[in-house]
Amino acid sequence: MSLKLPPSLMLIFYVVLSLCSIYAVSGYKDVDDPAIRTMEEFSGYPFDETHSNTQSLSVDAENLQKQIDELATFSDTPAPSVTRVLYTEKDVIARRYIKNIMGLAGLSVREDAVGNIFGRWEGYEPDLAPVASGSHIDAIPYSGKYDGVVGVLGAIEAINVLRRSGFKPKRSLEIIMFTSEEPTRFGISCLGSRLMAGSEMLLKALETTVDNQNISFIDAARSAGYAQEENDLRSVFLKKGSYAAFVELHIEQGPLLEEEGISVGIVTAIAAPASIKVDFKGGGGHAGAVLMPHRNDAGLAAAELALAVEKHVFDSGSIDTVGTVGILDLHPRAINSIPSKSHLEIDTRDIDEERRNKVIEKIHESAVSIAKKRGVRLAEFNIINQDPPALSDVSIIEAMKSASKELNLTHKLMISRAYHDSLFMARVSPMGMIFIPCFKGYSHRPEEFSLIEDISNGVKVLALTLAQLSLK
């Protein structure tokens, strides 16, 4: 082929030509499909008249939706909510489901010591660093079925799309299902990717980390079939350069794409998250007999600190600073007993790391002064993580933009306010993220929803982006 086209257009041209020899996909065909329009643009003639036996960059939307729905049934709470917590029975079944789908996509599957799952499609230059994509399938209590899942099942489908198109990767393509992006069980977010990125702090912490039932991380991992050997968690660390690029597909978890009618969000940066655990200890006592001036109420200290978090966040003066007290436990949790212990977990984030750190300092000052004023003890103020933000790689942003353009999909550059495994993959690989619209921006709630058409668009953009990056 001696046409003088830019490399990315050549790729599309190659994909379009190779479509002439592929098989049809379960009858799914949409003449408004932007990929078909793209085919027409490049081939110069109407797709329907001359290629009636072929498909475009075809996403098997029906099957993908079926997989999303099936995966959602592995849940500890009733539909439409999904609850799937690390190393529980439902998590283990869901992992098996994903490995099976990877196998059906022709990927060779392996797992590491904490259960990050990798499915590889070998490129024709297998010694080059692979290009990877992936996300998570764990789900916080009473959440929805799209968060993370779209980036795992969608990425496997992107591989299917490329295979069907006849594409042959130069660099291997690898799909990763990360272990425990959500902090639900052990209070540690992005556990799998954080460890892959080589966090010594996490490696150390995992030796002693327990869940709220006092089950250790190691025992929980072993019960799910991982961490079998002593000291093998270090083997999860990735070397820098292990991947040439990493791209994650995810629902936006915010309302902008839907509101503005835009198909694809191209993430330029991920905001900096932090989480803090706080314990107050007070005197407790009888709710009737202990008079108000004599109380050291750990519950009220927690309530006051929760309001202080809100105040410090507002005082930052930026709409980008956020803070949430998502966990507040009282002990002994009896209506007629003054709380003798309280436990809070505070999540605070900002796109500006320094500003977020100032908020953390102020929260600490408030915790100390509230304890003093109320005569309770600040038994713990533990910053669990205080992560910097991450920037997407410019060349991956360009690849995602050109993929969107070639598919005739509208796109916009945006910041991710939620964190993702990409935050940690950015430490070991150039990183990029593709967002798709979700209903009213709902996420971390059962009403979370994305149209399969929007998911399919994301899968196509991902497929073309991976293809481009693989040929570099």
* Contacting residues toward Mn ion, per CB under 5 A: 147-148
Least Cα distance to 91 among 221, 202, 228 occurs for: 221
Please enumerate in sequence order all residues whose Cβ is within 8 A of that of 189, keeping only pairs 6 or more positions apart, or say none: 181, 182, 183, 273, 275, 385, 419
Query: Whole-number minimum distance, CB 182 to ligand GLV, in Å?
Result: 6
Q: Which residue, 123 or 151, has its beta carbon nearer to ligand GLV?
A: 151
Q: Which residue, 381 or 419, has its beta carbon nearer to ligand GLV?
A: 419
| Angle value at C-alpha 250, between 248 and 256, nearest 5 degrees | 130
Positions of E strands within 123-271? 131-136, 139-143, 173-178, 245-251, 264-270
Q: Which residue, 182 or 248, has its beta carbon nearer to ligand GLV?
A: 182
Give yes or no for residue 191 binding ligand GLV (CB under 6 A): no
Q: How far apart are CA 365 and CA 357, in angstroms?
A: 13
Buried b (16+ CB within 10 A) or exposed e, 33-47: bbbbebbbebbeeeb
3-class SS of residue 185: coil
Query: Whole-number minimum distance, CB 173 to ligand GLV, in Å?
Result: 25
First to last CA, the chain: 19
Query: Whole-number minimum distance, CB 335 to ligand GLV, in Å?
Result: 32
Q: Which residue, 82 or 107, has its beta carbon nearer to ligand GLV?
A: 82
Give yes or no for residue 186 binding ligand GLV (CB under 6 A): no
Give yes or no for residue 182 binding ligand GLV (CB under 6 A): yes
Query: Whole-number minimum distance, CB 405 to ligand GLV, in Å?
Result: 29
Q: How far apart are CA 250 and CA 158, in angstroms?
A: 13
Q: How far apart are CA 251 and CA 135, in angstroms?
A: 11
Query: Whole-number minimum distance, CB 436 to ligand GLV, in Å?
Result: 16
Of the candidate residues 338, 346, 418, 464, the single one contacting ligand GLV (CB under 6 A)? 418
Closest residue to Mn ion, Cβ-based?
Answer: 148
Q: Starting from the edge strand earliest in sequence, which strands make up the sheet with 341-350, in order? A: 322-331, 341-350, 272-281, 377-386
User: Which partner from the list Mn ion, ligand GLV, none does 248 bind, CB cut-off 5 to 8 Å by kind?
Assistant: none
Query: Whole-number minimum distance, CB 435 to Mn ion, in Å?
Result: 11
Beta bridge partners of 449: none
Q: Which residue, 199 or 456, has its beta carbon nearer to ligand GLV?
A: 199
Burial classification of residue 199, based on how many CB atoms lie within 10 Å of its CB (0-12 exposed, 13-18 middle, 19 or more buried): buried
User: Which partner from the list Mn ion, ligand GLV, none does 138 bind, CB cut-off 5 to 8 Å by kind?
Assistant: none
User: Which partner from the list ligand GLV, Mn ion, none does 442 bind, CB cut-off 5 to 8 Å by kind?
Assistant: none
User: What CA dihedral angle connects 302, 307, 308 and 311, to 10 degrees?
Assistant: 170
Give yes or no for residue 435 binding ligand GLV (CB under 6 A): no
Least Cα distance to 205 among 183, 176, 229, 238 occurs for: 183
Query: Whole-number minimum distance, CB 143 to ligand GLV, in Å?
Result: 9
Query: Whole-number minimum distance, CB 419 to ligand GLV, in Å?
Result: 4
Query: Whole-number minimum distance, CB 42 to ligand GLV, in Å?
Result: 38
Q: Which residue, 182 or 406, has its beta carbon nearer to ligand GLV?
A: 182
Cβ-contact 434, 458 below 8 angstroms = yes
Cβ-contact 383, 274 below 8 angstroms = yes
Q: Which residue, 146 or 419, has its beta carbon nearer to ligand GLV?
A: 419
Q: How far apart are CA 28 and CA 22, in angstroms?
A: 14
User: Which partner from the list Mn ion, ligand GLV, none does 279 bind, CB cut-off 5 to 8 Å by kind?
Assistant: none
User: Which partner from the list Mn ion, ligand GLV, none does 419 bind, CB cut-off 5 to 8 Å by kind?
Assistant: ligand GLV
Of the candidate residues 419, 424, 435, 442, the single one contacting ligand GLV (CB under 6 A)? 419
Give yes or no for residue 448 binding ligand GLV (CB under 6 A): no
Give yes or no for residue 40 binding ligand GLV (CB under 6 A): no
Q: How far apart are CA 292 and CA 280, in angstroms?
A: 18
Both tokens of 470, joined, read 């693989």
Q: Which residue, 146 or 217, has its beta carbon nearer to Mn ion?
A: 146
Give yes or no for residue 138 binding ligand GLV (CB under 6 A): no
Burial classification of residue 77, based on how many CB atoms lie within 10 Å of its CB (0-12 exposed, 13-18 middle, 19 or more buried): middle
Q: How many residues bind ligand GLV (CB under 6 A)?
A: 3
Query: Whole-number minimum distance, CB 195 to Mn ion, in Å?
Result: 17
User: Which partner from the list ligand GLV, Mn ion, none does 426 bind, CB cut-off 5 to 8 Å by kind?
Assistant: none
Residues engaged in binding ligand GLV (CB under 6 A): 182, 418-419
